[in-house]
Structure formats: C-alpha cells, structure tokens
Chains A and B, each alone.
Chain A
Amino acid sequence: MSLYYHSVTLDEDRCKGCTNCIKRCPTHAIRVRDGKARIISERCIDCGECIRVCPHHAKRARFDDISRLKDFKYTVALPAPTLYGQFNNLSDIDYVLTGLLNMGFDDIFEVSKSAEIISDATRRLIKEGALKTPVISSACPAVVRLIRVKFPELCSHVLPLLSPMQAAAIQAKGEAREKTGLPLSDIGVFFITPCPAKVTDIRSPIGIDASWVDGAFSIADIYPVLLEQMNKIKTPLPLAHSGIIGVSWANSGGESSALLQEKYLAADGIENVIKVLEELENERLTELEFIELNACPGGCVGGVMAVENAYVAKARIQRLRKYLPVSLNHVEGDSEMRRYGWNAPLEYAGVMKLSDDLEEAMRMMEEIDRLYKLLPDLDCGSCGAPSCHTLAEDIVLGDAQLNDCIFILRQEASSAGIALSPLFGKKMKKEGTINDR
C-alpha cells in the first residue's frame, strides 16, 4: 500500500473553491487550483480539519459501507469508546454492544479492552526505562503522521506500541478463530470510529506491515441503525468487559491518567498539539515523562464523524464509567508484550524541503524571498495558496505563477492599459501601493 493513501477526499461538485480549508490546514497541504481544492498528498496527515471547516460539505472521509459485512463468514465489531458517549440517557454500555450484535455483527470486541492492555504495556515500558522520555503517545494517527512530516527530532520519542484499535483487531481475530475454527481470511473485524485518520491507519499502517483491521464504519453512518436496534432491546446481554481506564481513552487526558503518575501533559486540538511539539523540540518539557496528544478538540470524542458534541459526549462518558472497576485487562507476560510492539521505528519523511540538494534549496529560498517581497502580504488566499509566502514557494516549485495573485494581476493589467477598477470597486487604493509595506 502506498505511503500516501488518504481517507480525506474531495467532492468536486460541492467544492466552491473557497479559502476555508486552505487556511486551516495545519500542514499547508491544500491549494485551490482551477476553482477546486486539491490536496498535496505527501503533506496530508488526515487530521480531518478540512472536513470540520468546509461549509459546503465538500470534504469527505472514505469509510466502508455496511454491505462489506457480507464479504466475510464471521464479523466482529470493534467499537471505539467514543461510541458510548453518543447516546442520551444511556445507563449501561451493554445496550450499545447488544445493539451492534442485533444489527448484524456476529461478535463484538471493545477497543477499550485493548486500550487497557496498551496502558499496562506503556506503564511497564516506562518503568523499565526502555523508552526515550518524554514519551509521545502513538494512539492518534494524525499526530503520528504530523510528527513524521514536521518533527524529525521527535520521531524517536513516539511510543513504539500499536494503537488500541490494532491491538483489539489482533485479539478479536484470535478469539474468533478459536471460537469458529475459521481461517483468519474469513473473519472480518470492523472498527467503529469518528476518525478519518484511523481509516488511513488501516489502509497504510505505521509500525506494522499490514493492518489487522479489515475496514471502518463511521459513527455517523452507523448511528441511526444502531439506535433503532438499541431501542428494541429489553434485556441487554452482559458483554462489557472494560474498566474506567479503557473507557476514558475517548477523552483527552484518558490515556495519560491511566499511567497513574503526574509527570504527564495532555493536549488536544491540532493547533495546541503543534505548539506542544514545538516546545518539546526545543527541549523545554524535559521534566515530563509522557505526552498525550490528540488532533481533535477534546480527544477522540471530538472526531469529525462523531454525532454528538465533544463535550457532551465527554460528560456522558464520565457518568457511564462511574461505577466501573478501574481496569479489567492486563498484559500477560513478555510474549504478549511483544505482540503489541512496533516492528520498525517511526521514520521522518522530509516532505517540507524544497530540494534534496542543499545549495539548490538555498537558491530556491532566495528566489522565494525575492517573490515574497513583491506580494502584498495580505494572506487573502485568493490565489489558491494559504498565504503569500506559500504562493512564493509554489511559484518556485513550478506549481503557480506570480499573477495568480490578484493584486499583481491588477498591477500588470493597469500597466498594460487595461482598467480593472470597475472589477475591484471604486475605493481601490492607488496603484503601486503593493510594495509599500
């Protein structure tokens, strides 16, 4: 599978070519070209910010259709704990799990169970001093991909353990094979998630050769069907088997609190995540042992394909976990530890650099500086790039031209004797002000 598979895609018909997504993309991975948004594949980290901000709903995430269940003889649902926060007046997680069975899955395996295993494994590794501190959580795939493209020095700090989703898939497939005698290829495990980055992590995983998860359904897609099934349940089956620690992973701070110590930081929202990573890179947070970072505000409950508001969901999960035991799942010995480790460290992908040749890159940088001085520094986005500086970069990289800037275009038109002032309105400033900064 390609390194640059993405779940975030564009619906061309809905895209109006506005500037909302280009301005909000944390890796400057979107441009508007010929009136439509275009994603620069190697820079996209699938965080879903563009889906969140697009007023025309032109940005989508590729999830599987529920009909894919027919492709397998035996299917297992892997509900993310975030799912539990989507329902009003829910008193018992078993209603959700029983509802999943009633809507057509043969079995369920809670991702919160594996979250407890990963928490236990993290505690062990930190205690053994086996990790470079501060350790950065690897659970949020958008954060891991952000580090891979922007923070070379931090790659070695990323926790080399599978995400609870992948760990759950390994456990679920093993259990299902045991129960049914079917080969693994006949067993389909499907993650139920609010997160487009998880879809990418299934198609193009980091830390393992191939994903154990066969597909993903978005919470938003599954919600109406599941709710209908849940409303019919008289007595739910006793299926839930995870504690406060596992269920809390849905919220920012949940993974950290599971480490049972105070030397941690938990940040959420992609802008905050970037600020923390910069601090880390400047070696300003050396007193901390663990850094939990979630790209979405509030943590996974803030995922773009969740139905409920992140903070409402968080409050519900707090209530749901109240009478749960602390943790019901633990790592059994060293051989199990090895099952959940990465088989390769995270490697930096220098996608931001201008050229592989340093001197060539320096010449390009000089040209960027020269062009940037010609631009109005308004960062209006009308050229299709998020800022004047990125336009200058795009020109030098051969992907744009100077008169994509409407102010430059106006200047050129006026020196060619074409009056554009009716187009720009009468209160337009005099020509020549462009360089007056």
Chain B
Amino acid sequence: MKPITKRYEVLGDDFTHAGEASGKVKSMLRQLGYNSDAIRRVAIAMYEGEINMVIHANGGYAEVSVYPDRVEVLLSDTGPGIKDIELAMKEGYSTAPDEVRALGFGAGMGLSNIQKYTDDMRIESQVGVGTNMYMTILAQRPE
C-alpha cells in the first residue's frame, strides 16, 4: 500500500515552536487508529530529533511516511553537521548551549533516546553541509 507522506517545516529561529511537527504527527496517527505504543515511540523519537534540529541546526524539515506496518521519518537539516557520530550517540554527551540547558534540554540523551524508541536509525552527516537522520518505527515491535 502507498504510504501517506507528509512534510513539515521545522522552524529554527524560534525555539518555542519546537515539538509542533511531532505533535501533528501524533494526532494524525491517532486518527488513523495506529498502535498506541508505536504512536508514543514515534512522537518521542521525532520530538527529540526536532529539538536537536532547532538547537543545533537552525531548523530544517521532517518528512514522515506512514505505512500500515511502520512509520519512517526523515529529519533533514543544513546545519553544521556532526563531527563524530559515535561520540554524539553516547549518553550524556552534549554540545548544547547553556541557555538551552536552562530549559531542561541538552542533557545529552537525545540521540540515545531516539535509538531506544526506534527500531532502526541511521545518521548521515557532513560537517558544514548538514545532517539527515532516518528512523523507522514498527507498528508492532517484535518480542
């Protein structure tokens, strides 16, 4: 079956809008009657990714494709890129600025959380060019 594909702009200039795209995806999945655990995992993983894009990359876009058995998300930005992906994936590692930490973000849990909630994730990044993050969330997680 052809997926439902939606594209959302993630505005980088205003931190207060962060999290809007994942919120919209959540209500769409609920209307579709998607598995509620999968909805939760999509919403959290995408939220974390969205926050990262706003903090580090001045925004970008999110493209979400909904299949009956899975949700695929692409988060794409033209930000500074990630120098060392393996290091960035480590729990607690963060390069977030202080003003963002003051809001409770930047604990260095974003990427590891995404990994935890998705069934597959892949990061393509080039320093100075940007980052593409692909994630897949299965409607039913294998036991």
List the interface of chain A (C-beta within 8 A of B).
150, 152-153, 278, 281-284, 348, 350, 352-356, 358-359, 361-362, 365-366, 369, 393
Contact = CB atoms under 8 A, between A and B. Distances in A.
A282 B41 CA distance: 9
A354 B28 CA distance: 10
Interface residues of B, number: 24
Nearest to B6: A369
A353 B30 CA distance: 6
B7 to A, nearest CB: 12
Nearest to B37: A153
B33 interface: yes
A141 B23 CA distance: 25
A361 B43 contact: no
Contacts of A152: 30, 36, 39
Q: Dominant SS at the A interface?
A: helix
B33 A355 contact: yes
B52 to A, nearest CB: 14
Nearest to B22: A282
14 contacts: A150-B30, A153-B36, A281-B26, A282-B43, A352-B31, A353-B31, A353-B33, A354-B33, A356-B33, A358-B32, A359-B68, A362-B68, A366-B4, A369-B4
A281 B27 CA distance: 12
Given A153-B36, A153-B39, 4 more contacts: A282-B44, A348-B36, A353-B31, A353-B33
Contacts of A353: 30-33
Q: Tell me whether chain B's interface is mostly helix, strand or loop, or mixed.
A: helix
Contact of A358 (B23, B34, B39, B47): B34
A362 B40 contact: no
B1 interface: yes
B66 interface: yes
Interface of B: 1, 4, 6, 19, 22-23, 26-28, 30-34, 36-37, 39-40, 43-44, 47, 66, 68, 104
B108 to A, nearest CB: 16
Given A278-B23, A282-B44, A283-B44, A361 B31 contact: yes
Given A278-B23, A359-B1, A362-B66, A354 B32 contact: yes
Most chain B CB within 10 A, of A150, A282, A348, A393, is at A282
A365 B28 contact: yes
A354 B33 CA distance: 7
Contacts of B6: 369
Given A283-B44, A359-B1, A365 B33 contact: no
Contacts of A356: 33
A402 to B, nearest CB: 20
Contacts of B23: 278
A362 B30 CA distance: 11
A352 B30 contact: yes
Nearest to A353: B33
Contacts of A359: 1, 68
A355 B4 CA distance: 16
